[in-house]
Structures are given as C-alpha cells and as structure tokens.
Structure 1
C-alpha cells in the first residue's frame, strides 16, 4: 500500500502552479518598468481592492501590522488614550496600540465565534477610549452590528482588524465596510497573500485614507521634500501590488473552495465526542482562513495528527494579555477566562483551496480515530 503523503497547513507551490502564467507576466511587467516604488500597480490595487470591499478608498502599506499602527495614528491615538480590543489574536493587534503610546483594554470573546463579545464591551469603555478594534478571527466576522451600535452611542470609531478575513461578509456586506475603517494583511499565507509582506487600510472616509497615505509616505505634502506631518516609510511596493492584483481576481473562487473543504470537515466530524467544531453565526459568511477545532486533549490530538504526517497549528497558544510585551496593559491571568481556555483547546487543521477533498476526508478520518477522552483508538 503506497505511503500517504504529508499534508501541509498551506501549499503556496500548488497555488502558484494555478496562476503561474499571470503572476510571471505581472512580475515581468514591473521589472521592465523599473517603477519599483509607487508604480502604477500600486494605485490600481488600491482602487481594485477598495471596490472589492465595497469601500470608497484604500491605501496599500508595507504590512498588516503597519496598517494597524498607521490607522491608529490617523485617528490621533497617543499617550493617555485607551484602545479596546481582544487578547485572542496575533500580537500585532496589541503592538499597534502600544507603539502609538496608548493602553490596550482587553475584552473577552464569544466562545462560539472566537470574536469580541459585545455583551462585555460597554463596561470596558471609559472617557479615555479612542478606538475599538474587533478582530475577525479565522476569517469569521465579529458581531459588528452590536459592536457598532455600542460604539455609535459613545461616538467611538470602530477599526476592523480584518487580517484574516478577506472577502468575509456580514449581512451581505464585506469586511472593510463594517466599521469606520479596516486593516488587512497580505502575508503570503493569507486568503489574499503577497510574495512577501504587504498590507492595506480601507475606508469609506476618503479624508481618513488620505491621512494614512500621508503618514505612510514620510508625512509628505506637495512633493517628496515637503514633509508637513511626522510620518514614516510604509509603502506597499510595486512587485507585491502586481502579484496581489493577479490573485484578487481569484479570491472569491478560492474562498468558495475553502468553504467546500470546511463543509466537508464539518460533515465528517459532526458528532465526534469531545470535539467542538467552528460554525458561522446567522447572517455571517466566513472567509474560512482557518478551520479551528477544539479539544481538551489538544496537544495529544496534535501529536496524533503529526504522527500521520498531517500538519496543524495553534492560533494562538497564549492570549496576548499574558505575553510579557503586553505588560503595560496591566492584565493578568484569569482576567479573560474564555480567551485563556480557548488557547488551551484550539487546533487548526489544513485548509487551503488546493487541498483535495479526498485528503480533507483523510484528515477528518485521522481526527476521528483519536479518542478525545485522551486515548487513541486502535
């Protein structure tokens, strides 16, 4: 019997094989132009991705972390301010707040969707609250209607962390238009990924995007030597923009393929004792960036899958309020019980458009052979 091949978490080689001709042509076009910074592809990507989201404007930046940092700067966030977000996220969400001199205020998450729990939001708001950042984790949009209603009552802008949610929808509207502004990452493994680092800020507020663009380009004014505000260098380069423009045409198709794999997992794993499966909230359409199961025997299950050549990942093994870098937030163990419990249970199994359904079924079969009371079945 032939040996089963190893299955990775993501297969960018397989993706490249599907779009090789168009990607190679796009890269060659940039090389021939030699317009490596602020080339035509950059402006076109801004326009096309804003249109995809249904937003008025967008600004490409160097990476997703910079997108958050620059957006907060554009809101005027600084020392003495507070920014509400979640701890069940990648460290960049908290970093961006601290790097602007503000204090992160963490709110626990909804157990079913892994996203900010609106029921816990209002009591976290103070006179110092400047911005609220819900995170659309694993591709599932946060409960933006409830969050926005609370934020609007207090006059606080909502900034979406949509780093994992390209193309996700809530009530028929795409992420990028669910708050005042949104930040995206185009890290290579994302649903829409560059061939290096890249990010974007999207909004229906054109003046806000103009402020982001100015800060990202050394605070420039009328020309490159007219620096009217303190800025930085965070430009999305032309090569990345060209690659992303090619991939953007495939995003809906790829998200559909992710959805089909997620549905196959759910069908195959439903009813397994001790296993909690991800699900979409009513009215939400996940981008299915990750398929994240939960088990109290997570570490043993991960080892069981590894022994069968199946890659997995834990997003995230420690909620960021417990990271030493977040000490200025002043939040200790036990403060966010749902986030802390999830960090001990979550496990992401392979999910990418090129994953054959037969291999998804194989993965599900290996998960089923594990006894979630702690003993692998024979």
Structure 2
C-alpha cells in the first residue's frame, strides 16, 4: 500500500541522525527544557525570519496562548475561515470569544478578503460583539493573502494571527509563512510539512513584549522562575526529545524536502491538467504543499475517484468533509448557509492525493493513470 505521507521512508533516510539525537537526550536525561529546545527555537526563528520563536506542546495550544496574551475574551469577535480544521475556531470559543466564520476563495482555499471585510463591517454595525482579531489559515501549504488581510486589519484595528499549521515553508515573494501578522503559529503534528514524532507547536513574532509574555504563560504564568507565578497560565512545553528530532528534520526540510514536494506538484500538474482542477498558486506565492488537493465536478465524481484509488491501493483524504459553520459544536452561532457557498461546494468536491518529498515519479504516474480512468 502506498503511503499518503511517507514518514517511514523519511525515518529510514535519516535513521542514524534521528537515533543519535534521541540517544543524546536519553543520555543527558534532560527531558524538559533541554538545550535542544532553545537551539531549535533559534533555528526556526532564523529560517522564518523573525526575532522570536516560542515552542509549545502543540499547534492548538499555540493559538490559545497568543489569544490569552492578547486577552481575547467573551464579547470579542474573531474572524476565521469557514474551510479549515476545527481547532482554528475552537480556540476562539475556548477563550469565551465568538468565532465569525468567513467564506473562502475557491481557487486558493484561503479566506476571501472581500467577504472578510464585509463580515467585519456587519459585526461592527450589529454592535453585539467587539471585533478583535482575524486568524487566516495557510491552507494546504499556501500562505493567505496577507497584503490585503493586513490592510483590512489595520483599518479596523484588529490583531492578525497567522495559522501556519499547514503553511510552514511557504512564502510570498520570499517572505516566509509564519512571519506575517502580529504573531503566527505552526504545528509539528507528524504529518505536517515539518513534523515531529508526537505533538508539538510553535509561535513566531517580532514583538518582544508578546514573546516575553508567551514564555511566561506557557509555563504556569511564571515570573523569575517556575515557582514564582505572576499570572494564570498553562502547561505547554515542547519536549526535548521532540526538539532533537525536529532539529534533524528541519535540516532535511531546508536542504531538499521543500524543493522535492514542489517538483512533485509540477509532475502532478503536467499529468492532471485538463483532467481535474489542479491546485492554484498565485504569482509570487510558494506553497509547502502540506496537501496536494484537487477539485472534481461534483460529490459523486469525487467519491467515485476516491473509491477507485482505494481499489488500487492508493490512499487519499478529504479535507474537509464539513464546514466550520455546520459543526455541531458551533450550532449555537448564527450562520446562514447561503453565506458559505464556496465552502459548501468545496466540502463536496475536494480530494487530497498522496504528497510528500519521497514520492517517486512512478508513484505519481500510477496515481494519475487511475485519476485519468
């Protein structure tokens, strides 16, 4: 069976380096806050091009920590794309605030900036909630339209929190994902562009005061030390073992993996153009291809192709089966389906094909032959 995201081959290629890195942590027995964590944070900040990287336990915690630092709370509105993973909106509600879902652009899958501005204006006019922030998502590896998002946010005095859980490694005209907005987060979930061997996350910012506050909040609101608690915080740390693994994998990611997935998407594009709708990458944008997501004509065709791929031992995934506004957890929110026409359609027609740096040209050919049918 072909792998959807081949972590086994990646491990075999870097087995010696990864095993050695893990063994060193075991030998030193400094499992929490070891030197590898600080070294990784420095390397990540340098790669992204920001002053601060603060690691934490996972990408969901990363979102929550930033919103804690910004004191986002009940009565606040936070604008979130309707077509994304649950945690982006979940953490808004977890803070007591209200997520306001916004439809996405059909070509890029990312938040529709014209609809974003309309949603903000509508919220202001209704006067029930105070607009506080927008959380754009870099879906499937492609950065959102930050030039326009930041312009809109400035007009309405909103924070911008880039959800780069899937976008790490992408860029816009050379400016890297996780360097946009007032702060950004990413996830090191194993299947992400840069993944560890468990859960992990990070926050990126150029704001010195925010970085200092986040470092306190992630360790029980610590002051001078962990037994000096100056505020209510949480416990959200990246383990030293995961940091050691990520240091090895970051080097591989920079050296060849990012380039490899982009070469693979070109192979896919050559063979699938005219057969299905291939991913759209705007001029000046570079995707890290967390997923290679195609669009079919309708749900029947999508489901049929997925079944046919499965018969040939080829895995595929549907991201996402259900829009945010239709999730039961958000059923208390007012949302009209007509406001989410694009997301509603995408949930019926998208299909993600195997995508990772170790996919061979033969594998791509095999997948495309089945798709052509």
TM-score where L is the length of structure 1: 0.94
Structure 1 CA distance for aligned equivalents of residues 355 and 332 of structure 2:
36
Partner of 1:345: 349
Structure 1 CA distance for aligned equivalents of residues 346 and 215 of structure 2:
37
Partner of 2:32: 37
Asked if residue 260 in structure 1 is aligned to residue 273 in structure 2, the reply is no
DSSP-derived class of the 1:348 partner: strand
2:239 to 217, 229, 237: 237
- Cα deviation, 1:40-95, whole Å, max 9, x if unaligned, reads 11111111101110010011000011011111111110111110011100001011
2:81 to 62, 82, 86: 86
Structure 2 CA distance for aligned equivalents of residues 8 and 343 of structure 1:
23
Partner of 1:191: 193
1:356 to 354, 360, 365: 360
What is the alpha-carbon root mean square deviation over aligned residues?
1.0
- Cα deviation, 1:181-219, whole Å, max 9, x if unaligned, reads 111000001110000000000011121122112111000
- Cα deviation, 1:278-314, whole Å, max 9, x if unaligned, reads 1201111011111000111111110011111100000
Partner of 2:50: 55
TM-score where L is the length of structure 2: 0.95
Task: For residue 333 of structure 1, report the CA deviation from its aligned partner.
Answer: 3.1
- Cα deviation, 1:305-363, whole Å, max 9, x if unaligned, reads 11111000001100121111122332243331101110000000001111111111110
8 Å CA contact 2:131–2:158 kept in 1: the answer is yes
Q: Extract structure 1 runs of 4+ deviating beyond 4 A.
A: none
DSSP-derived class of the 2:303 partner: helix
Q: Any stretches of 5+ residues in structure 1 without a counterpart?
A: 1-5, 370-378
8 Å CA contact 1:184–1:199 kept in 2: the answer is yes
Partner of 2:104: 109
**What is the 5 A alignment of 1:212-231?**
212-231=214-233
Asked if residue 203 in structure 1 is aligned to residue 205 in structure 2, the reply is yes
Q: Any stretches of 5+ residues in structure 2 without a counterpart?
A: 125-129
Partner of 1:294: 295
Matched residue pairs, number? 362
8 Å CA contact 2:101–2:324 kept in 1: the answer is no
Structure 2 CA distance for aligned equivalents of residues 319 and 15 of structure 1:
33
DSSP-derived class of the 2:133 partner: strand
Partner of 1:375: none
8 Å CA contact 1:322–1:332 kept in 2: the answer is no
Asked if residue 368 in structure 1 is aligned to residue 367 in structure 2, the reply is no
Task: For residue 166 of structure 1, report the CA deviation from its aligned partner.
Answer: 1.1
8 Å CA contact 1:158–1:180 kept in 2: the answer is yes
8 Å CA contact 1:50–1:56 kept in 2: the answer is yes
8 Å CA contact 1:170–1:285 kept in 2: the answer is yes
**What is the 5 A alignment of 1:269-288?**
269-272=272-275, 275-288=276-289
Asked if residue 170 in structure 1 is aligned to residue 172 in structure 2, the reply is yes
**What is the 5 A alignment of 1:96-175?**
96-125=91-120, 126-127=123-124, 128-175=130-177
8 Å CA contact 1:103–1:328 kept in 2: the answer is no
DSSP-derived class of the 2:222 partner: coil
Asked if residue 335 in structure 1 is aligned to residue 339 in structure 2, the reply is yes
